[in-house]
Amino acid sequence: MGNTAYNVRIIPNLPSLNYTMTETTSTPATVAELSDFSSFNLHSALQEALTKNGFEKPTPVQQRTIPASLTRQNLLVSAKTGSGKTLAFLLPTLHNLLINPNYYAGTRALVLVPTRELAQQIFLQCQQLLDGTALNVGLITGGEDFKKQQNMFRKNTAVIIATPGRILELLTLDTAPFENLETLILDEADRMLDMGFSEDVLTIAKNCNENRQTLLFSATLTHAGVLKMADKVLKKYELIALNTLRDELPHIQQQIVLADDNAHKQQLLAWLLKNETFEKALVFSNSRLQATALCDPLRAAGVRATVLHGDMDQKERQRVMKLFRDGVVNVLVATDLAARGLDIKGIQIVINFEVPRNGINYIHRIGRTGRSDETGVTITLVKHTEWNLMAGIERFLRQSFIRRNIKELAGKFQGPKKLKASGKSVGGKKKIEEKKEKVEKVKVRDRDKKNVGKRRAPTPKVTAE
């Protein structure tokens, strides 16, 4: 499945899932298997510290994050405050350091957090876990002795818990304190963004060992900037989302409207734009071509619409954005790429003309509405070939969309007759397999017609090289 834009591999939310949103290869172990910290086989010092401090069972975010992190993958983890994210990153990180002692490697793990108080708290927790081991941990925040902090690098302090500001200052003095860094952790990324640390964090990340593991933790995925930061700092990563969509966006109602085909969708779209009340509406399409094609009929139907897509030059984009911002047009038809990071007030409705290709795109899209707690509604038009994709997104985001019928434009498609426990249509997979077979058969015939056994002539590009 195409997911090239983000390079994300998504770990499904529930252990028993039988679908994959993208090319994920890891099957999460079941909750039952991981009901105790001892099942992670953590370094004995860590296990002892857990027992000593009364921690018995991992919380859900720990169950999901620890095994994935132990394999040194990059992760973006979203889970509510108080869900136990600190141990979720400290345990696997410290384990990986402990099983591979290296006393002269300089700083091996760096945890960046938004505030001094939080840094202090994590520092103490880290000390507790490392009690009796040869690993040392340092605290670097503003307001403390600069020279002493500078010395930490010289003393090969293995783990550093810090706020971004002071680290940045120290970076200007020491050329490469993080060149051997094994793990970079950004905790409370959403808060760091709110506090204006975005650039600082990016600069620090750039100064860290390129081959490090990076873990990004946030209380929410829908915060403007978290996914953007993940794209920049993590590049390729797995997503572990513990929040339901309702947790994330309680003030946005998620609806679906079933449609027979694209022509029917077009009628539904025009109807919705004429009958819903909103200041501004955003319509998403999966392709530039479709986005452009949608606009004219809407205008002909009296809707003040315009289009925004990635092929337009910067000037043109800005012109369109201004028209939309100023309310000269109140409907913007856009592609995913064009709408990334769009922050415009008054968007109360988002319509997905097509089901987005994956859950991350869905979050990106709907995050455009309901900004700063305004209420909003999102409506996804779903035809039968998109049913399973929609069901996958529902399951990934752990939310049932509200099914809405529009009487005036009632269609024939009322959803699959039989559904699996996953919400997908029964027989859907078989059909796809049959289709694949057909394609393969065509290929065989095609080859038969050509020079059997001979290699194809290399393409001109290959010959030129």
Q: How many Å apart are CA 435 and CA 455, to the nearest integer?
A: 27
Closer residue to ligand ADP, CB minimum distance, 87 or 257: 87
Among 3, 7, 47, 55, contact with ligand ADP (rule: CB under 6 A): 55
Strand partners, 186: 112, 216
Sorted by sequence, the CB contacts under 8 Å of residue 323 that are 6+ apart come out as: 306, 329
- In the region spanning residues 83 to 112, those forming contacts with ligand ADP, defined by CB under 6 A, are 83-87
- Distance CA(204)–CA(391), nearest Å, equals 40
> Quick check: 67 binds ligand ADP (CB under 6 A)?
no
Which partner, ligand ADP, Mg ion, none, binds residue 59 by CB below 5 to 8 Å per kind?
ligand ADP
- Which is closer to ligand ADP, CB of 62 or CB of 267? 62
Nearer to ligand ADP, 243 or 330 (CB): 243
**Total of chain residues touching ligand ADP, rule CB under 6 A:** 13
Q: Does 58 bind ligand ADP (CB under 6 A)?
A: yes
From the CB of 207, what's the least distance to ligand ADP, in Å?
25
Contact 154, 184 (CB under 8 A): no
Instruction: Please choose, out of 77-85, 149-157, 192-200, 264-272, the segment that lies near ligand ADP by the rule CB under 6 A.
Output: 77-85
**CA 14 to CA 396: how far, in whole Å?**
8
With CB under 5 to 8 Å by kind, the binding choice for 93 among Mg ion, ligand ADP, none is none
Compute the distance between CA of residue 297 and CA of residue 294 in angstroms, rounded to an integer. 6
With respect to ligand ADP, which residue has the nearer C-beta, 121 or 198? 121
Rounded to the nearest whole angstrom, what is the least distance from the CB of residue 190 to ligand ADP in the complex? 12
Question: Which element (helix H / strand E) includes 306?
Answer: strand 305-308
**Count of CB atoms situated within 10 Å of the CB of 98:** 19
**Contacts to Mg ion by CB under 5 A:** 85
Taking the complex as a whole, how short is the minimal distance between the CB of residue 178 and ligand ADP, in angstroms?
23
Q: What is the largest CA-CA distance in the chain?
A: 78
Nearer to ligand ADP, 82 or 132 (CB): 82
Confirm or reject binding of residue 226 to ligand ADP (CB under 6 A). no
Backbone angles phi, psi at 170, to 5 degrees: -65, -30
C-alpha distances (whole Å) from 276 to each of 56, 265, 301, 351, 382 are: 52, 16, 15, 11, 19
For residue 62, state whether it binds ligand ADP (rule: CB under 6 A).
yes
Minimum gap (Å) between residue 12 Cβ and ligand ADP: 21
- Encoding tokens for residue 363? 């979050």
Q: List residues near ligand ADP by CB under 6 A.
A: 55, 57-59, 62, 79, 81-87
